[in-house]
């Protein structure tokens, strides 16, 4: 356990952990705010986790700005930043990986082989290192949330997983560190994801329950955007990530950038 966490725990303080890969935006900072409201002390981790990027993904070009990240975290009132090196996290002799079966397999699991094993491994290590009472994740990565919840239950990690709402730009685009890859034209095209979710939520509110028809509402809106290439557009159960369910989940390529978004259709679309 980190020395600071050990000391704080000894003093009877509650600890919230906000795991991040840096390149911070208002979505991360909203998780820090939530963690500050619910805990005596907040630790944010900043670690671009190489093993959750599949070969050919954007590990090398993933945005990194450690100075800005540290400034934002300090301004937002975190008590400690945990920034391990790759060598400390994964020494060459390390042979252990954490695999969560079931919920990690469909959708992102198909599109990004090894991704959730990388996430489950690093999240396990972060939870062991910091030993928080609560850990905070964004709803935008809904399948990651489901994988982490399963992991924590299965390994009796004794940490509460808290989920913060997706933070959106004025036009509905979900904040993501990868949005910096988008050209101006691609950034406009990215609004098609939230437009599709909104249309499906409207259809659901009007009484539509047929999963095929809800899926085709999503797809037809996305396919109307010439720059969007749909990877998947499904309506699934938020616990298993298989149908039927009410969680609309999208993965869409716009240029070289792959964006994901989701919305529970039984809830009004925000904004």
- For ligand PAF, give the closer residue by CB, 21 or 250: 21
Sketch the per residue contact string, 225 through 244, with ligand PAF: x for CB under 6 A, - otherwise.
--------------------
Residue 176 interacting with ligand PAF (CB under 6 A): no
Footprint on residues 114-173 left by ligand PAF (CB under 6 A): 119, 122-123, 141, 144
Encoded tokens for 54: 């599949």
Q: Which of residues 38-67 bind ligand PAF (CB under 6 A)?
A: 49, 52
> Please, what is the minimum distance in Å from the beta carbon of residue 10 to ligand PAF?
27
- Do 161 and 148 contact (CB within 8 A), yes or no? yes
Complex with ligand PAF: residue 21 or 43, whichever CB lies closer: 21
Decide if 25 is catalytic: no
Nearer to ligand PAF, 119 or 182 (CB): 119
Q: Among 28, 99, 115, 263, which one carries the catalytic annotation?
A: 28
**Could you say which of 20, 30, 124, 139 contacts ligand PAF (CB under 6 A)?**
20
In angstroms, the CA 5 to CA 133 distance is 11
Whichever of 19 and 106 has its CB closer to ligand PAF, that residue is 19
- Pick one of 17, 21, 127, 250: the residue that binds ligand PAF (CB under 6 A): 21
In the complex with ligand PAF, the residue whose CB is nearer, 107 or 203, is 107
| Least Cβ distance, residue 52 to ligand PAF (angstroms) | 6
- Of 15-23, 81-89, 223-231, 254-262, which part binds ligand PAF (CB under 6 A)? 15-23
Rounded CA separation 42/35 (Å): 6
* Binding of ligand PAF by 19 (CB under 6 A): yes
Instruction: Give the separation between CA 211 and CA 217, rounded to whole angstroms.
Output: 10
Between 159 and 195, CB nearer to ligand PAF: 159
What's the length of the chain?
Answer: 271
Nearest Cα neighbor of 264 from 170, 140, 96 is: 140
Q: How many residues bind ligand PAF (CB under 6 A)?
A: 10
Q: Provide the annotated active-site residues.
A: 28
* Contacts to ligand PAF by CB under 6 A: 19-21, 49, 52, 119, 122-123, 141, 144
């Amino acid at each position: 356990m980190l020395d600071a966490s050990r000391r704080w725990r000894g003093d009877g303080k509650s600890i919230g952990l906000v795991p991040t890969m840096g390149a911070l935006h208002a979505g991360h900072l909203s998780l820090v705010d939530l963690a500050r409201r619910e805990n005596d002390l907040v630790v944010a981790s900043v670690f671009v986790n190489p093993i959750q990027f599949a070969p050919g993904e954007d590990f090398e070009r993933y945005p990194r700005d450690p100075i800005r990240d540290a400034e934002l975290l300090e301004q937002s009132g975190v008590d400690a930043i945990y920034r391990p090196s790759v060598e400390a996290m994964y020494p060459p002799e390390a042979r252990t990986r954490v695999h969560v079966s079931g919920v990690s397999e469909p959708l992102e699991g198909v599109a990004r082989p090894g991704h959730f094993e990388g996430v489950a491994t690093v999240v396990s290590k972060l939870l062991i290192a910091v030993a928080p009472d609560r850990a905070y994740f964004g709803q935008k990565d809904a399948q990651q949330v489901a994988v982490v919840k399963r992991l924590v239950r299965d390994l009796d990690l004794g940490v509460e997983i808290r989920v913060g709402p997706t933070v959106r730009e004025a036009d509905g685009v979900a904040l993501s560190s990868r949005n910096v890859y988008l050209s101006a034209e691609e950034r406009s095209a990215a609004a098609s994801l939230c437009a599709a979710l909104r249309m499906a939520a409207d259809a659901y509110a009007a009484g539509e329950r047929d999963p095929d028809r809800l899926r085709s509402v999503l797809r037809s809106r996305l396919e109307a955007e010439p720059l969007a290439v749909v990877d998947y557009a499904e309506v699934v159960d938020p616990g298993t990530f298989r149908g039927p369910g009410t969680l609309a989940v999208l993965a869409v390529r716009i240029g070289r950038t792959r964006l994901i978004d989701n919305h529970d259709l039984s809830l009004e679309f925000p904004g």
